[in-house]
Structure 1
């Protein structure tokens, strides 16, 4: 099975940004037209997009709704959305607006029943974010670190019908240090849920190695800064991932 490449659009104040290690004070602005950026990714061949409402992740509610809606309208493929989605009303709202998948992180730790119910009602639509700081689950826009290990978190949802686990090594995110492939593959092998790799993709070598591990349960990879900085060509990444 081919690896899915998810170009990332992170939203802060309606702008396209990238953070370093999830720090809102270390944001680099890459544009002020999220819909236009989504179209550029589509023109390069992307069929999937990963969008994060960063302000929403910290606020615990939707903040960049207008920008998200413009992306969903503009992008011809599948949009996966995360950031501040913590109740049933928010989940239903985004599916109604045409989002293909919603990513639940903080609420998955605090209210696992919400994830179970939503997974049953929206088959294939719920992704659980497993964001790690030193192997422990980080929540609330990565501002808090829990006492729950990544593997324990993943195993809580093995029978829930979630579409995938989104694993991010927070210490690498936005730093172009390379993806934490070992930890990602270990998680994929230890659970029966497909895993999406995220955080630190530096270039085509990360895509190449992760695609080799698709057989281990790696469904896809999210990449942001490497694309915006020109270190990774999206069309090339998609071609390598399809091999």
Structure 2
């Protein structure tokens, strides 16, 4: 398993939200590139980036800090938020991004996801964000009647690199991940699943690692900033 330190970008700063609410943002670093370098120095193998403003705007907003991270960090990074057309996907990959995360378009334009996965094999992931098992889109602001597993199964044969599954009610709440739902999704599809939302302790990582499903990794944000999880220790544990 891989530890993915999260850098969520809002108005150019590195923040964490509480349960996805934009008006409940805590700023942890006003220099996201410096924060990214700190994670890399601590030993992480990947970075997980989110353009929060972009998720609402439907287009990249925090491009400058993302580009600075890509220029100054030598580990692969994945990015979600506001990526909703092939031109944007191609632009980010050309700048050195390893993987784009498609969320809203996975629901609204699934054919675009398939086309992107064909055109850029290994570089396209699907972000599935859910409340109570139902998918939410557009920066988590809009609820759908689509079930998580049903959406994931649509892309079984598409060649997507991973599914990032976020339980919104757990995100930023430091209450632990939804291990059962994450494991159920990972066991239901053949696509690698990355757990997100509520990963706040080494015990949470241990629970995910031993959940009975072949998870690709886990994303953690606030717990890293608060010192609840040590990047080097967690990375070594998940690799062992």
TM-score, normalised by the number of residues in structure 1: 0.97
- What are the superposed Cα offsets for residues 101-126 of structure 1, whole Å, 9 maximum, x if unpaired? 00000011100111101101111111
Task: Quote how far apart the aligned CAs of 1:37 are.
Answer: 0.6
| Structure-1 residue corresponding to 2:128 | 130
The aligned residue for residue 230 of structure 1 is 227
Structure 1 residues 6-65: Cα deviation after superposition (integer angstroms, max 9, x where no partner): 000000010000000110000000011111111100111011000000000011100000
> Which residue is equivalent to 1:143?
141
Unaligned 5+ runs, structure 1: none
Match of 2:68 among 52, 67, 70: 70
* Alignment deviations for residues 174-217 of structure 1 (CA, whole Å, 9 cap, x no partner): 0000011110000000111110000001100111122234x722
Task: Determine the C-alpha separation between the residues in 1 that align with 2:213 and 2:167.
Answer: 19
Contact 1:21 1:171 in 2 (8 A): yes
2:110 to 112, 127, 151: 112
Q: Aligned-pair distance for 1:141?
A: 0.2
In structure 2, how many angstroms separate the alpha carbons of the residues matched to 1:242 and 1:206? 15
The number of residues matched between the two structures is 240
> 1 CA distance for matches of 2:208 and 2:123?
23
In 1, the alpha carbon distance for the partners of 2:114 and 2:51 equals 23
After superposition, give the CA deviation of every residue in 1:117-147 in whole Å (9 maximum; x if it has no partner).
Answer: 1101111111101111111000000000101
- Give the drift of 1:69: 0.2
- Superposed structure 1 runs of 4+ greater than 4 Å apart: none
Aligned to 2:46: 48
Aligned with 2:236 (options 235, 239, 242): 239
Q: Secondary structure at 1:209's aligned position in 2?
A: helix
Q: Note if contact 1:47-1:76 (Cα within 8 Å) is conserved in structure 2.
A: no
* Contact kept? 1:193, 1:217, Cα under 8 Å: no
Counterpart in 1 of 2:84? Answer: 86
Partners in 2 of 1:113 and 1:217 — Cα distance? 27
RMSD across aligned C-alpha pairs, in angstroms?
Answer: 0.8
Structure 2 distance, partners of 1:131, 1:193, is: 16
In structure 2, stretches of 5+ residues that fail to align are none
Give 3-state SS (helix, strand or coil) of 1:86's partner: coil
